[in-house]
Homo-oligomer: A and B are copies of this chain.
Amino acid sequence: MRLSRYFLPVLKENPAEAQIVSHRLMLRAGMIKQASAGIYSWLPLGFKVLRRIENIVHEEQARAGHMAMLMPTIQSADLWRESGRYDAYGDEMLRITDRGGRDMLFTPTAEELITDIFRAHVSSYKDLPLTMYQIQWKFRDEIRPRFGVMRGREFLMKDGYNFDLSKEDALHAYNRHLVSYLRTYERMGLQAIPMRADSGPIGGDDTHEFLVLAETGESEVFYDSAVTDLTFGDRDIDFDDVAQCAAIMEEFTTRYARTDETHDEALFAEVPEERRRTARGIEVGQIFYFGTKYSEPLGATVQGSDGKPVPVHMGSHGIGVSRLLGAIIEASHDDKGIIWPEGVTPFHAGIVNLRQGDAEADVACQALYDSLTALGLEPLYDDRKEGAGSKFATMDLIGLPWRITVGPRGLKNGVVELTSRRSGTSEEMAPEEAVQRIAQIYAGIA
């Protein structure tokens, strides 16, 4: 993409309404624009990152054997009356009356509707296990929406649901999701720590939240510093392997890590003092096992192998897709702007032409652009007639991890400059070498 043709309305000033850095930087980098309180439009740059995150979630869900589907945003109140949550959910549920006078609502989550689909179509234990998920817009009518996309009213969420014959099978689904989520977050350049949490309005016995450590996090968290040494890495996982998933679950959840909701001072005191940490965290996902909480009231049973009806054991699992943009920025930025991890960057590399209009510089930039594109990479080429300072400031603000700077002086020596946004270090090299280096970096993270 050429910047001269791209809609990138960067702001020079810090917007007054933004209290936290991710909100400020998303507005300044022209990624989002508020439409109403807690409701945002996603401008082209923001939308590109949103799609990258969505795609990682889809790929990792497919890898774990889960099936993508989609449920509507507007749902009938009747189903929610069957589960008892229509009244229980409170004012955060956006309630709607349609032209026929029917009570409807904007989905804040979808346990009822997925259970309704299940009970209509699945009747035998032979059809289990079954896990389906969606990435769909949700609405929660927060009384005080704030922090940009971190606590918006309309937000994009991945919500998945497992149906199993027994508690044991459902706990494997729980572990499988935990493993899959660890990998998902790492691909986004995030360390998200599973912490024992409270189940809230979803209900159930077992639940872990995934938290990204950041000063601006909404939750106070307490943990053994050894949990931050764990990395998922490039493990070869068989998601049907019960023992393998259980072992990873144990590896990542045995050490103390809890939110303030479930914090236990006595247990925490057992952690060696030099490893006890108190910090703040941003919740980016949560997994639940809640057994038959929805299957019983909604009558979601299957015929067991003995012919008798059994209510299915369920769990649900969420990833805050739109919120993740805020969380990633909170965890990865500096004074100049965003620093995108390679896994989610909107463009793979920026090309800065220091002398737009200079024939040699223009040709060299175009050649770099074409070479990167031919390798399946997406560059953003700053082809505007602006000074170097302004071009660097824009690139730093929008946070592309790699920048190639092209100027007449370097070209005389046959070199361009490759700069890492994260380290700030630059290296001179031949244009074709810069292209190869960038290609290698992205090949390593695919």
Q: A6-B67, A69-B44, A117-B41 are in contact. Are A36 and B74 (CB under 8 A)?
A: yes
Tell me the complex Cα distance, A102–B143, Å: 12
Tell me the complex Cα distance, A344–B48, Å: 23
Tell me the complex Cα distance, A68–B41, Å: 12
Neighbouring B residues of A47 by C-beta, 8 Å: 68-70
Tell me the complex Cα distance, A72–B138, Å: 11
Neighbouring B residues of A6 by C-beta, 8 Å: 67
A65 within 8 A of B: yes
A35 and B72 form a contact (CB under 8 A): yes
CB distance from A247 to the nearest CB of B (A): 24
The 0/1 profile, CB within 8 Å of B marked 1, for residues 19-42 of chain A is: 000000000001001011101111
CB distance from A347 to the nearest CB of B (A): 13
Tell me the complex Cα distance, A156–B9, Å: 27
A335 within 8 A of B: no
Of B9, B69, B94, the residue contacting A121 (CB under 8 A) is B9
The 0/1 profile, CB within 8 Å of B marked 1, for residues 38-82 of chain A is: 011111101110110000000000000101111111111000000
Q: A33-B120, A36-B104, A67-B7 are in contact. Are A132 and B44 (CB under 8 A)?
A: yes
Q: A5-B65, A44-B68, A70-B42 are in contact. Are A35 and B99 (CB under 8 A)?
A: no
Tell me the complex Cα distance, A156–B143, Å: 29
Which A positions have Cβ atoms within 8 angstroms of B?
A: 5-7, 9, 30, 33, 35-37, 39-44, 46-48, 50-51, 65, 67-76, 91-92, 94, 96, 98-100, 102, 104, 106, 113, 116-117, 120-122, 130, 132, 137, 139, 141, 143, 153-154
